[in-house]
């Protein structure tokens, strides 16, 4: 976690320095935007975490380990992909849920399929935005074209982890 923080810190400092050199006002606009968005997230995040934790508590640990566990294989990856597509809300809900599933015994590739399914499928966004804006035919073709993306991501991640001797277990 400290590594990702340091990478973000360095990247932010470099981008901020570049923005400052190009136009000093752009950095101040960016800081204003950051303050506004930070306030919105700070208000919502505790409630999202509580909601995600409550949802995770309602799902029996046995279900998670059987359906999404490491031993569930391809069927578990497919189930996690669909479940990910059904997860409502944004990252403040889905990532805590993914963490809870991992702690309850979901396998690494299954968690990857869950997050990828949430990102690619997002059935609630398809119904709310994609179909009304882009049309049903477009949404259907996109969904068909991306049908195997979460499964492929999970299988590839498992293969890479195995080849490199890495564990996909969350710390």
Q: How many residues does the chain have?
A: 171
Q: Whole-angstrom Cα distance, residue 165 to residue 30?
A: 41
Q: List alpha helices for the chain, DSSP H.
A: 2-22, 24-58, 61-68, 73-86, 91-103, 108-120, 123-125, 131-134, 136-145, 149-164
CB atoms within 10 A of CB 94: 21
Mean pLDDT of the chain: 88
Structural contact between residues 55 and 89, judged by C-beta atoms closer than 8 angstroms:
no
Q: Is the pLDDT of residue 171 over 70?
A: no
Angle between helices 149-164 and 73-86 (to 10 degrees): 130
Q: In the block, which residue shows the tokens 């492929």?
A: 152
Which pLDDT tens digit goes with each residue over 67-77?
Answer: 888 888 999 99
Which pLDDT tens digit goes with each residue over 7-64?
Answer: 989 999 999 899 888 888 888 898 899 899 888 888 888 887 787 778 777 877 788 8
CA angle at 61 for the pair 59 and 67, rounded to the nearest 5°: 85
Structural contact between residues 68 and 79, judged by C-beta atoms closer than 8 angstroms:
yes
Structural contact between residues 159 and 149, judged by C-beta atoms closer than 8 angstroms:
no
Percent of the chain at pLDDT > 70 equals 98
pLDDT band at 131 (very low <50, low <70, confident <90, very high): very high
More confident residue, 121 or 165: 121
> How many CA within 13 A on the CB side of residue 168?
23
pLDDT reported for residue 77: 94
pTM recorded for the entire structure: 0.76
């Amino acid at each position: 976690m400290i590594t990702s923080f340091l990478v973000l810190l360095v990247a932010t400092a470099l981008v901020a320095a570049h923005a400052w050199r190009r136009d000093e006002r752009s950095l101040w606009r960016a800081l204003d935007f950051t303050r506004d968005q930070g306030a919105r997230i700070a208000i919502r995040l505790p409630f999202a975490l509580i909601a995600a934790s409550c949802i995770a508590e309602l799902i029996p640990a046995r279900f998670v380990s059987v359906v999404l566990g490491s031993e569930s294989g391809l069927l578990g990856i497919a189930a996690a992909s669909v479940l990910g597509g059904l997860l409502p809300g944004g990252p403040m809900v889905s990532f805590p849920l993914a963490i809870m599933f991992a702690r309850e015994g979901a396998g690494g590739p299954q968690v990857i399929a869950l997050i990828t399914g949430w990102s690619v499928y997002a059935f609630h966004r398809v119904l709310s935005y994609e179909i009304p804006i882009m049309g049903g035919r477009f949404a259907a073709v996109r969904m068909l074209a991306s049908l195997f993306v979460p499964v492929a991501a999970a299988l590839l991640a498992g293969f890479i982890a195995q080849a490199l001797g890495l564990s996909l277990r969350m710390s």
